[in-house]
Chains A and B, each alone.
Chain A
Amino acid sequence: MGKLESVFTRVITAFIVTICVVTIVFFFIHLIPGDPIVAILGEQAGLQDVEKLRTQLGLDLPLASQWIQFITDLVVGDLGFSFYYHAPVAPIIAKSTVMTFYLAGAAFIIAASVGISLGIVAALYQEKVWDRLAVFVALVSMSIPNFVFGPILIIIFAVKLQWLPIGASEGVLSIVLPALALGLSLAALTMRMTRASVIEVLREPYILAIRAKGLSQSRIMLAHVFRNALLPVVTTLGLQLGLLLGGAVITEAIFSWPGLGSLVIESISRRDYPMVQASVLVIAVSYIIINMLTDILYKVLDPRVDLGS
């Protein structure tokens, strides 16, 4: 199968999955136990208000036409109307999305740079003290939930040392602590992956062969080891970038970072279901797109991978 063709197949698959996800999210409002309208307005609501909201939300229509309405609204960028803000959801979501991507991006950069460099160092000093220390620290880091690590970071760097701000509104530096809290476990995972991958490649016979040919150590590492070893790391990192979006939900709650995650949590407690629906949708679709791009990137880097299967 040609490269272009397989990229095309991958895009189609992503599109189908998106449709299914949209459908699942569409059912969210029907998942609320009991009558969703009563759940939203409360038991004491007057019959007139209940019926008015039901018509407003289109919940009196047959399910199929509700679904078509939902999809057509989405296509034109109408994500619904917030009960809480009494305003369209889309602009509010857009602002939060930018903040979440900003945070996830920073965490990703931290995780990738720290994880890959420590992983390489650990692999080169395999089974020595530095390696063992790095492996241990990585395992501990993977076991610290971000909602425990976040408060600890705040105690150390914001309260005791007063080096860094906590809130999101205090300039560029305010992203450092949340990004660290979010990126820690990904950095640990990346470190473990990189280490395992580099060690595996170093054991390959062709490395021995080029070493015998007298290639310099740095040339071997740069041209042969890293190129082959970092491929699987890139893929996992891509998949994890999506997971960062999920982790961001909790991290944002700790640091009151005004992103999609905070919006989901606040909207859940405000019973602002259209907002919950739209935020989940935006996160899920971003996740699908990121995964798709990762697959395609992997394909470009490694001609052996067949995307179609």
Chain B
Amino acid sequence: MKKSTFVLIFSMVLWSVVLIFSSWDQSVLNTIDLEKILMPPSSESLFGSDDLGRSIGPRIVSGARLSLFVVIIVLTITSVFGTIIGILSGLVGGKFDSIVMRVIDIFLAFPGILLAISLAGILGGGLHNVVLALSAVGWVGFARLSRAQTLRVKQLDHVLVAQLLGTTTPKIIILHVLPLIVSPMLVELTYSAASVILSEAGLSFLGIGVSSPTASLGSMVRDGSFYLMTAPHYVILTGMALMSLVFLINVAGDRLQEKLAEGYSRNIN
């Protein structure tokens, strides 16, 4: 195994252990201790305290859990919905396909984050609306990719044969198309996870995401940035935590893509 792969796996295991095994007790998160306001990291509190004297470490853990929770929900919604739309569009073709393509064009005409910001802003913050806004933006990528992949797979002999034999469309999709487009979709899934984490944090940073006192990495970065001069540890530690999450997911995506590309060229040669 390469040394960098080892580091990657080690960091992922470390994050998982922290996320799973550190305390799930919600009451610690919001204990306000005015004696400890903006205390820098010490042996007593590894990550120091925030502007209300709450311990930063547990709040980072809780914020990261929230990020992953949002990622799982949003990706489940967007990947299932987007993939179904994309495969159908590619397989059925005709009028349906051109309508779907136009809708995708329109969605791509907005910068995604702007659409999410305006949706969350107008509907009001909160977990529900964040998930709604990010899902409304996120399905497009999956739809576009799965459509393109389906157009490729559709030409293959086994799909044509299945169609000639009168196999029903749902069966063709599940048995003959889906297995062949899974790998590129997995890569898309990884990169989307990174972008959902960043978007959720971005919305919370702007104050239109998950509302306080729930700990979100984005709102913690914002709170921390008010105390840049006096307590830089707040914004730096939270920022680093967010960054390392996204970094790990991005690296995993890169690795996955390389692996798939290798497998692909092996199959051709």
> Which label, helix, strand, loop or mixed, suits the secondary structure of the B interface?
helix
Nearest to A149 among chain B residues (CB) is B239
Contact of B110 among A21, A140, A144, A154 (CB under 8 A): A21
Inter-chain contact B114/A284, CB cutoff 8 Å: yes
Give bound CA distance, A246 to B207, whole Å.
17
Inter-chain contact A152/B236, CB cutoff 8 Å: yes
Contact of B111 among A20, A145, A242 (CB under 8 A): A242
**Taking the complex as formed, is A198 at the interface, i.e. its CB lies under 8 A from any CB of chain B?**
no
Contact of B105 among A17, A264, A276 (CB under 8 A): A17
Inter-chain contact B113/A139, CB cutoff 8 Å: no
Inter-chain contact B122/A265, CB cutoff 8 Å: no
**Residue with the highest number of chain A CB atoms closer than 10 Å, among B114, B117, B235, B244:** B114
Number of A-B residue pairs having CB atoms within 8 Å of each other in the complex: 132
Residues of A within 8 A of B (CB-CB), count:
46
**Taking the complex as formed, is B174 at the interface, i.e. its CB lies under 8 A from any CB of chain A?**
no
Contacts of B113 in A (CB 8 A): 246-247, 249-250
Inter-chain contact A31/B246, CB cutoff 8 Å: no
* Those of A218-264 within 8 Å (CB) of chain B: 242-243, 245-247, 249-250, 253-254, 264
**Taking the complex as formed, is A269 at the interface, i.e. its CB lies under 8 A from any CB of chain B?**
yes
Inter-chain contact B218/A268, CB cutoff 8 Å: no
Inter-chain contact B205/A288, CB cutoff 8 Å: no
**Taking the complex as formed, is A173 at the interface, i.e. its CB lies under 8 A from any CB of chain B?**
no
Q: Residues of A at under 8 Å CB distance from B? A: 13, 16-18, 20-21, 24, 28, 31-33, 139-140, 142-145, 147-148, 150-152, 154-155, 159, 242-243, 245-247, 249-250, 253-254, 264-265, 268-269, 273, 276, 280, 283-284, 287-288, 291
What would be 20 A-B contacts, judged by CB atoms less than 8 Å apart?
Answer: A18-B109, A20-B106, A28-B122, A33-B124, A142-B250, A145-B221, A147-B201, A148-B239, A152-B239, A154-B228, A159-B229, A243-B111, A245-B111, A249-B113, A253-B205, A254-B225, A268-B117, A268-B208, A269-B207, A283-B114
